[in-house]
Amino acid sequence: MSRIATLLMSEFVTHDVKRLVLTRPEDFTFVPGQGTLLAINQPDLREDAHPFTPTSLADDRVLEFTIKGHPEHHGLTEKLHALRPGAELVLGDVFGTIQYQGPGTFIAGGAGITPFIAIFRQLAREGKLAGHSLLFSNKTRDDIILEQEFRHYLGDRCLLTLTRESAPGYENRRLDAKLLKERIRDFSQAFYVCGPPPFVEALSQLLQNFGAKADNVVFEQG
């Protein structure tokens, strides 16, 4: 079933990622981490629906999406970034495999962080952040979505790695077997992995090599 939401505002949160704040249709509900199909409500664009993940809390009066633009594709994200307040969007039903299953380690690559934004905001509201860690890989500092919010929630349990830049306070390396072994003591905990398909495949394989059970690894492609 589709629903219409109106864009209230949008602003950049990094050089190429925007947060879009929409009205929330009363019957649009979701579990933090779930995604939905989103399209622009114009005759020529309505059928071009792509998956995105609400990053607001489920009971907020408004709905927030955090969307990385790919202007070089000349596709939907370029058009979403160009929308003005008052534009209408079409929301589909919610879906997705990333649902919170208890304390554990969250591993994200780039815009794959979006399902974890809603989950961490919900945990923060409930005062349940203890026992959670985040490993978040980006190319450079400028690419990190909501760095200060994650550092505030998690302190030294938030590890930020940069693959194309070296800077104090960040690990200048990939999320590889060596890093997982250094940072993770208990591979029987829950793991949540989200990012580009090669990232998700590599990380879930590494986790399983270290003994993580497939049931304890929840992954989705961002």
Ligand X SMILES: Cc1cc2nc3c(=O)[nH]c(=O)nc-3n(C[C@H](O)[C@H](O)[C@H](O)COP(=O)(O)OP(=O)(O)OC[C@H]3O[C@@H](n4cnc5c(N)ncnc54)[C@H](O)[C@@H]3O)c2cc1C
Q: Pick one of 22, 40, 76, 134: the residue that binds ligand X (CB under 6 A).
A: 76
81 or 132, CB closer to ligand X? 81
Q: Would you count residue 221 as binding ligand X (CB under 6 A)?
A: yes
DSSP code, position 171: B
Q: Rounded to the nearest whole angstrom, what is the least distance from the CB of residue 211 to ligand X in the complex?
A: 27
Nearest-angstrom CA–CA distance, 63 and 37: 14
Residues 108-127 that bind ligand X (CB under 6 A): 111, 114
Structure tokens belonging to residue 205: 């394989």
CB 58 within 8 Å of CB 29:
yes
- Region of 73-81, 134-142, 155-163, 211-219 interacting with ligand X (CB under 6 A): 73-81
Greatest CA separation found in the chain?
53
Q: Rounded to the nearest whole angstrom, what is the least distance from the CB of residue 92 to ligand X in the complex?
A: 11
96 or 103, CB closer to ligand X? 96
Q: How many residues bind ligand X (CB under 6 A)?
A: 22
Q: Would you count residue 72 as binding ligand X (CB under 6 A)?
A: yes
Q: Would you count residue 36 as binding ligand X (CB under 6 A)?
A: no
Structure tokens belonging to residue 73: 């594709």
Q: Pick one of 5, 67, 217, 218: the residue that binds ligand X (CB under 6 A).
A: 67
Q: Pick one of 35, 104, 109, 195: the residue that binds ligand X (CB under 6 A).
A: 35
Kindly provide the residue ranges of all beta strands, DSSP E only, lying in the chain, ordered along the sequence.
3-12, 17-23, 35-40, 50-52, 62-68, 88-95, 104-109, 133-138, 158-162, 190-195, 217-221
Nearest-angstrom CA–CA distance, 50 and 222: 11
Nearest-angstrom CA–CA distance, 207 and 177: 8
Which residues, in sequence order, are bridge partners of residue 49?
A: none
Q: Rounded to the nearest whole angstrom, what is the least distance from the CB of residue 173 to ligand X in the complex?
A: 24
Residues that bind ligand X (CB under 6 A): 35, 50-53, 65-68, 70, 72-73, 75-78, 96, 111, 114, 220-222
